[in-house]
Amino acid sequence: MKKTIMETIQANERYHNIPELYEILSNKYGKLTIAGGCLIDCFFNKDFYDVDCFINIKDLKPEWLPKLKIRKDTHILDVLRDNVNGFDIDIVVIDYSVAKHIRRFDQRFKQAWFDHKGLHMSNGAAKDIADNKVRVGVLNGPAIYFRIIRSARKYNMHLDDTDLFLMENFMSCLDRLNLPKKYQHMQREFLPYKNPDHFLGRIVYKYSQNYWNTKLLYAPSWTTLKLFLLPAIIRHNLHK
């Protein structure tokens, strides 16, 4: 199954851009890895103009180090941006294993990558593509819901039943808080997440500050989210 999916990716006419970009970018920046959406676009025969690359800071060429604005509260230290052959390139600089980072992608079906050894894909990604389902890989914060929906629409995939159930329950919490409709439409921007002045926003904002991408707890589970969010909602309702 995985072999067939990878063969489909490699057979796509757009795939020839990947090894070419890899050569150019690795010579310029160091030992990096191309991963994610551009490879999946090849499988689904879709055009792509954005390419995400990942590199451990130890593998980054020394001349780029002074250009980094390093963050110390996250594994993602900085992002270098480039444009090569008409493609917008993001070079994500991290402080730990690139392979481990890819396996922590929030959407499991995007766990595909190209490096000096060629094309690779996790077993989970292959299963999700074969099942035509978008499944949560690692919960990197509530905004994952919206990325999942965008992906399902873009690739005409289905949502996994378990993830859909949890997503609907989370959104029903928003309904019970009698928020304006703009907060309830999942296809719109996740406004409470961006607005720490709103009650729900404070919950989600605090959650993201404490758990999203932090080194202490990089990948919170669904259980973590429920344990954090639901008691806060109950306390809020009791004090109305």
Domain's final residue, options 109, 131, 153 = 131
Q: Cα–Cα distance between 81 and 92 in angstroms, integer?
A: 9
pLDDT tier for residue 9 given thresholds of 50, 70 and 90: very high
Does residue 48 sit in the same domain as residue 127? yes
**pLDDT, position 173:** 56
| pLDDT score of 190 more than 50 | no
Indicate whether 156 belongs to any domain: yes
> Among 98, 131, 164, which residue terminates a domain?
131
Q: Both 44 and 15 in a single domain?
A: yes
End-of-domain residue from the set 99, 131, 163: 131
Q: Which of 54-68, 116-130, 179-193, 207-221 has the lowest mean pLDDT?
A: 207-221
Mean pLDDT of 191-199: 47
pLDDT of 144 reads: 73
- pLDDT, residue 82, reads 96
**118 strand-pairing partners:** 115
Tens of pLDDT along 127-144? 999 999 998 887 665 567
Q: 136 pairs with which residues across the strands?
A: 107
As to burial, measured by CB atoms within 10 angstroms (0-12 exposed, 13-18 middle, 19+ buried), residue 98 is: buried
Q: Are residues 91 and 190 in the same domain?
A: no
- Segment 226-230 long-range contacts (CB within 8 Å, at least 24 positions apart): 228/203, 229/170, 229/173, 229/203, 229/204, 230/173
- The dihedrals phi and psi of 214, each to the nearest 5 degrees, come to -75, 155
Distance from C-alpha of 191 to C-alpha of 28, rounded to nearest angstrom: 38
Q: Identify the domain containing residue 19 by its residue range.
A: 2-131
Least confident of 88-92, 173-177, 185-189, 236-240: 185-189
- Same domain (yes/no): 28, 126: yes
The confidence score (pLDDT) of residue 114 equals 97
- Considering the domain boundaries, does residue 136 fall inside one? no
**CATH code (residue 122):** 3.30.460.10
Q: Which amino acid, residue 148?
A: I
The residue written with tokens 């997440």 in the block is 193
Q: Tokens for 211, please give them.
A: 């758990």
The verdict on residue 137 lying in a domain is no
Q: Answer whether residue 96 shows pLDDT above 50.
A: yes
Q: Which residue has the higher pLDDT, 73 or 52?
A: 52
Structurally, the chain folds into a number of domains equal to: 2
Are 151 and 67 in the same domain? Answer: no
- The whole-number pLDDT of residue 165 equals 65
Q: Domain check: are 76 and 190 in the same one?
A: no
In a domain, 116, yes or no: yes
Confidence of residue 172 (pLDDT cuts 50, 70, 90): low
Could you tell me the two tokens for 145? 């819901």
In angstroms, how far is the first alpha carbon of the chain from the final one? Answer: 54
